Amino acid sequence: MSGPLLEVAGLHKRFGGLVAVKDIGFRIAPGEILGLIGPNGSGKSTVMKLIMGIEKPNAGSVRIGGQEVAGWQTHRIARAGVGIVFQHSRPLHRQTVLENIKLALLPDSLLRLAAAPHVAARAREIAEQVGLGHVLHRHPPTLPFADLRRMELAKAIARDPKVVLVDEPFAGLTAAEVRAFSDLIAQFRAQGRAVLLVDHNVKGVVALVDRVLAMYLGEPVAEGSAADVMANETVRRVYLGGRIETHARPELDARPGAPLLDVQGVSVQYGKAQALQDVALHVREREFVSVVGLNGAGKTTLFNAICGLVPYGGTIAWQGAGLRGRSPAMIARGGIVQCPESRELFGTMSVRENLELGGQHLPPAERQRQLDWLFALFPILPARARQAARTLSGGEQQMLAIARALMMKPRLLILDEPTLGLAPVILEQLSKALAELRRTTPITVLLGEQNVTFALPHADRVYVLEHARIVWEGDPARFATEAGAGYL
């Protein structure tokens, strides 16, 4: 057909008071790949679920080959010609690869449960197409992660869809596997299918897509070629946060002696997905080191490995001694304290009670001095001292989470995405607090951030984490000139 295979117009979706998708619209022609990008929480996956009927839109239109399908049930939309490749594989573990693909080829009818004679041949053909011909009779638990992703792709195209939706296809894949998977998706263009490729990483889709639509907080912010979208000022502000300032202290890294924290060759796998691969970094006493990377790059996994929360390969040394075998509690008592991305506050307890829990190991007089210092560092907290933590705003909860971590008097404070979802006025308050820590205390900080304009002013050195690997390291000024343009 000459017209678009997929047309979306005025799509809206609310979850209670949260507007997850607002006025999203695009068209995808036969043989065209559209990249839908944006940071986590932008609404990308919700758009995909609305198209597939997994969620019902509050308003808007979804047309497949000119036919309106908005609000239809998922199986009817699949029959209309839409296939979906989910980010997380959910195979039938007791069936072979061939049987999983055959199941996707079975007729959509309770009256016909047996496969026609041609189904096995077609399943083999699809398996060969996606690179699974050599593992047809193996079971999913025995497959490498990339082959599980290929099987999801095979299941999606088993019904010969006109439109294919692909969610975060490259998560957990190595660079070589990304190239191979990109080649498979590119085959859809030659087959005349329309492809919607969802990813949070611009660079992950730039070489593959024909056009890019960037989203932020549920709304479209830019559309066009990948080069145009990457150069768009709004997109750069969304990903980078704005103008980059730096205030490095290179003399800290120049001092002789072993670093306080030394990470060498650290790798982490979740099942068969590679979350970290051969990561190396070091942090010296009093340094503020920023690990920047888009969501999903592996920052949280790195911090959890340091804190003993996930098993890892490689070595992590603290003050010259290996941390392997120490419990998370021992590591925290030894001076490494993490403020997690999820904050993990005790919601029904008051602000003061949360803080006192952090300082429970301190003598009463010292605990009070630490509490007084933190109330001065975060002036909003004294007025909320008796308020339940769950009733605070997001920014106030973040300040409380950082303050509770500081109550433990850490030598190394790990901050994981402290700016996530916060308003600019709160970011300014957090920035002032970090600047005060940097100026007046001997605390060492390891900061993980997507927002580089928040991270870099407080950094003495910077590491860039991308697809589970460190791809750049240096001082903040060099980042601004060398890595900043390629960060997207």
User: 186 is in which domain, residue-wise?
Assistant: 6-240
* Residue 278, pLDDT above cutoff 90: yes
**Cβ(402)–Cβ(418) under 8 Å?**
yes
pLDDT of 77 above 70: yes
Listed residues 240, 262, 295: the one ending a domain: 240
Does residue 188 form part of some domain?
A: yes
Is 190 exposed, middle or buried, given 0-12, 13-18 or 19+ CB atoms closer than 10 A? exposed
Residues 222-257: pLDDT tens digits? 888 887 887 777 776 666 555 555 565 665 665 666
308: left (phi over 0), alpha (psi -120 to 50) or beta: left
User: What mean pLDDT is predicted for residues 107-122?
Assistant: 64
- Kindly tell me if the per-residue pLDDT of 177 is higher than 80: no
Greatest mean pLDDT range, 172-176, 283-287, 428-432: 283-287
Residue 183 has pLDDT above 70, yes or no: yes
Average pLDDT, the chain: 83
Q: Is 308 found in the same domain as 222?
A: no
Asked if pLDDT for residue 361 goes beyond 80, the answer is yes
Q: Do both 202 and 348 map to the same domain?
A: no
Q: Is residue 20 included in any domain, yes or no?
A: yes
19 CA to centre of own chain: 21
CA distances to 337, 351, 368, 376, 415 from 372, rounded to whole Å, are 20, 13, 6, 6, 22
Average pLDDT over residues 466-487: 76
DSSP summary character for residue 10 = E
Q: Are residues 289 and 208 in the same domain?
A: no
Domain boundary among 240, 265, 290: 240
What burial class does residue 81 get, using C-beta atoms within 10 Å of its C-beta: 0-12 exposed, 13-18 middle, 19+ buried?
Answer: buried
Q: Whose CA is closest to 378, among 362, 357, 354?
A: 354
Residue 1 included in any domain: no
pLDDT at 195 over 80: yes
* pLDDT per position as a tens digit, 348-358: 889 899 898 88
> In this structure, what token pair is assigned to residue 461?
């050195």
State the Cα–Cα distance between residues 35 and 224, nearest whole angstrom.
10
Q: Which of these three, 220, 240, 260, is where a domain ends?
A: 240
- Residue 379 included in any domain: yes
What was the pLDDT predicted at 15? 84
- pLDDT, residue 204, reads 63
In angstroms, rounded to a whole number, what is the distance separating the alpha carbons of residues 149 and 180? 11
Is residue 198 in a domain?
yes
Distance CA 130, CA 47 (A): 26
Sign of the torsion formed by the C-alpha atoms of 68, 69, 71 and 72: positive
Of 64-73, 139-148, 308-317, 361-370, the poorest mean pLDDT is in: 139-148
Which amino acid appears at position 88 of this protein? H
Q: Are residues 310 and 423 in the same domain?
A: yes
Nearest to 8 by CA among 82, 91, 94, 98: 82
Query: Is pLDDT at 484 greater than 70 in this prediction?
Result: no
* Structural domain contains residue 476: yes
Mean of the pLDDT values across residues 138-152?
83
Each residue of 30-62: pLDDT tens digit? 999 998 887 766 788 889 999 999 999 999 999
Residues near 146 by beta carbon (within 8 Å), at least 6 away in sequence: 173, 174, 177, 180, 181
Instruction: Report the percent of the chain where pLDDT is more than 90.
Output: 25
Q: Pseudo-torsion of CA 315, 316, 317, 322, nearest 10°?
A: -60
**Which CATH number goes with the domain that contains 231?**
3.40.50.300
Q: How far apart are CA 218 and CA 44, in angstroms?
A: 8
Task: Classify residue 475 by its DSSP letter.
Answer: -
- Cα separation, 394 vs 345, whole angstroms: 12
Is residue 245 in some structural domain?
no
pLDDT on residue 434: 85
pLDDT at 478 over 70: yes
What's the average model confidence in pLDDT over 428-449? 88
Q: Can you give the pLDDT at residue 397?
A: 86
For residues 249 and 134, what is the distance between their CA atoms, to the nearest angstrom? 55
- Looking at the fold, whether 169 and 52 belong to one and the same domain comes out as yes
Q: Between 406 and 145, whose confidence is greater? A: 406
How does residue 12 score in pLDDT terms, banded at 50, 70 and 90? very high
Residue-level pLDDT at 58: 92
Assigned token pair, 209: 């897509």
Q: Are residues 78 and 226 in the same domain?
A: yes
Q: Are 479 and 375 in the same domain?
A: yes
262 and 226, same domain (yes or no): no
Q: 175 pLDDT exceeds 80?
A: no
CA angle, 185 as apex, 226 and 32 as ends, to 5°? Answer: 55
Q: Provide mean pLDDT across the span 173-188.
A: 79
Cα dihedral sign, 128-129-135-136? negative
Same domain, 348 and 439: yes
Q: Residue 347 is encoded by which pair of tokens?
A: 């919601």
* Residue pLDDT, tens place only, 382-391: 888 888 888 8
What's the domain count of the chain? 2
pTM: 0.62
Helix axes 145-157, 97-105, angle to 10 degrees: 20
Are 125 and 17 members of one domain?
yes
Q: Is the pLDDT of residue 424 over 70?
A: no
What average pLDDT score do residues 10-26 get?
87
- % of the chain beyond a pLDDT of 70: 88
Position 488 in a domain: no
- Residues 278 and 299 both lie in one domain: yes
**Exposed, middle or buried: residue 75 (CB in 10 Å: 0-12, 13-18, 19+)?**
exposed
The verdict on 167 and 312 lying in the same domain is no
Average pLDDT over residues 305-323: 93
